[in-house]
Amino acid sequence: MLERIKAWDNRVLTKLSAKHTKKLDKLMVIITTSGNNGYIWFALSIPLILISRYRLVGYTMILSMLIGGLAGEVTIKHIVGRIRPCSREFEKDLLIKHPAHYSFPSGHTTASFAVTTVVFIMMPVIFLPVLFYACLMGFSRMYVLVHYPTDVIAGVFLGILCGIVAVTVSPYIPFFTA
């Protein structure tokens, strides 16, 4: 079963790498880079923190990314230890600097879907554009060949879980509600 999943991952990335164009390459690099260290999501959450009505939403977004980072980047990636596709079959096609850490799950996707889940629950008026960008983020990670599709899928599920946990606990954190 694991071999079939690996084969599917490689087929998807092979097809994606065959669809590269100069314009799409530039766009996907911009999108994927905006997710480095959660920059795009901090850019969304910080203004919310400054507006008292939305402060809890902004803090909860950051909390969801923190939970996702601890779960995915610090824990799961080191347990699984999956080598990135750009370290194997697709090294010559790499469009960005080679990431330093393991591949599974996608941290960019985890953060994106953690924030998207918080938005869905706490501020649904902006859900669709946030969801759209989160999907682009996950796609961009495959497009630039630093993640397998299953890394991104795992990042979606982990992000949703982290978002739910953050929404559940954030009202009980006194600093968030002050």
Domain regions of the chain by residue span: 2-177
Give the model confidence (pLDDT) of 23-44 as tens digits.
Answer: 999 999 999 999 999 999 999 9
- pLDDT of 59 reads 96
Decide: 153 and 110 in contact? Cβ < 8 Å: no
Q: What pTM does this model have?
A: 0.91
CA atoms of 165 and 151, how far apart (whole Å): 21
Q: Does 172 score more than 80 pLDDT?
A: yes
Distances 149 to 104, 112, 127 between C-alpha atoms, Å: 10, 15, 23
- pLDDT of 96 reads 76
Give the model confidence (pLDDT) of 75-113 as tens digits.
Answer: 999 999 888 887 766 566 667 777 778 889 999 999 999
- pLDDT of 86 reads 79
CATH topology of domain 2-177: Vanadium-containing Chloroperoxidase; domain 2 (1.10.606)
